[in-house]
Amino acid sequence: MSEKALWLDGNGLAGLLVEVFGAEMTAVRRRCQSCGQRHAIGSHRLYRGAGDVLRCPNCGDLALRIAALPDRHLVEVRGTWRMAVPRD
Amino acid sequence: MERAALLERLSLPRAPIRWRTVTASEVIDETAQARTIVLDVPDWPGHAAGQHVDVRLTAEDGYQAQRSYSIASAPEDARVALTVERLEDGEVSPYLAGELRVGDEIEIRGPIGGHFTWRVQDGGPLLLIGGGSGLVPLMAMLRHRAAQGSDVEARLLLSARSLDDVFYRDELAGLDDVAIHYTLTRSRPEGWTGYARRVDAEMLAEVGAAPSERPLVFVCGPTAFVEQVADGLVALGHPPDAIHTERFGPTGS
């Protein structure tokens, strides 16, 4: 097996997701528009580079991209995310 | 079903995400490469076993580096403990695992994460499989189980390079009611009778629990380790939904 797998999982993005969405997101399940499977955000594949990219753990299709700029986050969301954000 | 899941989500408190400055109150050497940092965190909102915190360090020139670390302590503990393994090319871990002293301050935010968590009321049997420092969140689960006096059946399979690389060895030895299996992948003490190879399907079948017992499975370790274990579990017939995984990157065990 490879010792150099270059991806993590969505758990590693939990802090940033709270920052962006205002709620804990890793247990939220997302239905992939490409393959139709539902997986928790925490089990998506996370690729980290200049930005963070989440991909479907089954088919690899893009789920989320976040780029951190000095004054804002740029967020691109794909597929079906069911999220409930508590109100203060 | 979906409605129930939605209501469950609604009942979660708004996640705390502010950065807080905390003080290291104790530092414990675990292995030659790893230390536990015990933090005093006033107003800690409490955590679930398996959750992590983000740690942020700021250099004098303003440069910031941030990493996630699993919480090692039980929710019942008064202080928050992180166990950090030093990565030679790391930006954060050499400081946390090497230079930080008692009384030093760091910034943390959390607790974070809702996918890789276990509470005693979730039941079992519990099957915990760790590679190297992937033991840390699993240890929080075992400590939580012990603190609650839970009799949920629990097994731990831990893969490490050598016995000297195993965190919390004495504490693990004292967990009489947990079935603990070690596999040592690089070097073994003389007379070693445990496993001595990478985790495979045969080992997973021997350790159990069988899929028919519907165990809750938590696997944490380097990405390649988690992939190998998860594939083995699925091959044995464990439903993918029962297998919770947490990967922390390409460092080997």
Residues B125 and B239 in one domain: yes
In the predicted structure, residue A3 carries a pLDDT above the cut 80: no
Q: To which residue do tokens 């139709």 refer?
A: A36
Do B114 and A7 lie within an 8 Å CB cutoff? Answer: no
Residue B6 placed within a domain: no
DSSP secondary-structure letter at A44? S
- Domain-embedded: residue B5: no
pLDDT at B56 over 70: yes
Q: Note the pLDDT tens digit of each residue in B94-127.
A: 999 999 999 999 999 999 988 899 999 999 899 9
pLDDT class of A88 with cuts at 50, 70, 90: low
pLDDT tens figures, A34-80: 898 989 999 999 998 889 999 999 999 999 999 988 889 999 998 88
DSSP string, B8-43: HHHTSPPPP---EEEEEEEEEE-SSSEEEEEEE-TT
pLDDT of res. B121: 95
Domain contains B252:
no
- Of the residues B59, B90, B112, the one at which a domain ends: B112
Entry pTM: 0.88
pLDDT of B20 > 90? The answer is yes
The whole-angstrom distance between A44's CA and the closest CA on chain B is 10
Residues from chain B that touch A25, judged by Cβ atoms under 8 A, are 114
Distance CA A42, CA B216 (A): 16
Alpha-carbon dihedral B8, B221, B139, B194, rounded to 10 degrees: 130
> What pLDDT, on the 0 to 100 scale, is given for residue A83?
67
Contact B225, B253 (CB under 8 A): yes
Residues B154 and B240 in one domain: yes
Copy the structure tokens of residue B7. 């209501």
Q: Regarding predicted confidence, which is higher, B46 or A2? A: B46
Contact B53, B16 (CB under 8 A): no
Cα B69 to the chain's mean position, in Å? Answer: 9
Q: What are the extents of the domains in chain A?
A: 8-81
In this prediction, residues B41-48 reach a mean pLDDT of 92
Stretch 11-40 of chain A: residues touching chain B, C-beta under 8 Å: 11-12, 14-15, 18-19, 22-29, 40
Structural domain count, chain B:
2
Looking at the fold, whether B130 and B34 belong to one and the same domain comes out as: no
Q: What is the dihedral of CA A42, A48, A51, A53, to 10 degrees?
A: -40
Chain B: residue whose CA lies nearest to A58: B240
Please list every residue in chain A whose beta carbon sits closer than 8 Å to the beta carbon of residue B250.
3-6
Q: Identify whether B102 is part of a domain.
A: yes
Residues B153 and B34 in one domain: no
Q: What is the mean pLDDT of residues B164-172?
A: 97
Range of the domain at B221: 120-247
pLDDT at B187 over 60: yes
> What is the helix (H) or strand (E) element at residue A20, kind and residue range?
helix A14-21
Asked whether residue B73 falls in the same domain as residue B132, the answer is: no
pLDDT digits (tens, 9 = 90+) for B216-244: 999 999 999 999 999 999 999 999 989 99
Q: Are residues B132 and B105 in the same domain?
A: no
B189 band by pLDDT with thresholds 50, 70 and 90: very high
Shared domain check, B167 and B69:
no
CATH code of the domain covering residue B34? 2.40.30.10
Which has the minimum average pLDDT: A26-35, B9-18, B31-40, B129-138? B9-18
Residue B10 has pLDDT above 70, yes or no: no
In a domain, B1, yes or no: no
Cα–Cα distance measured from residue B71 to residue B47, given in angstroms and rounded to the nearest whole number: 9
pLDDT at B16: 52
Which residues on chain B place their C-beta less than 8 Å from a C-beta of chain A? 2, 5-6, 9-10, 12-15, 17, 52, 54, 66, 68, 109-110, 112-116, 198, 222-228, 244-250, 252
Residue B1 has pLDDT above 90, yes or no: no
- The reply to whether ipTM tops 0.90 is no
Residues B133 and B100 in one domain: no
Residue where a domain terminates, one of B78, B96, B112: B112
Clarify whether residues B201 and B163 are in a common domain: yes
Domain-terminating residue out of B60, B94, B112: B112
Same domain, B241 and B171: yes
Higher pLDDT, B68 or B9: B68
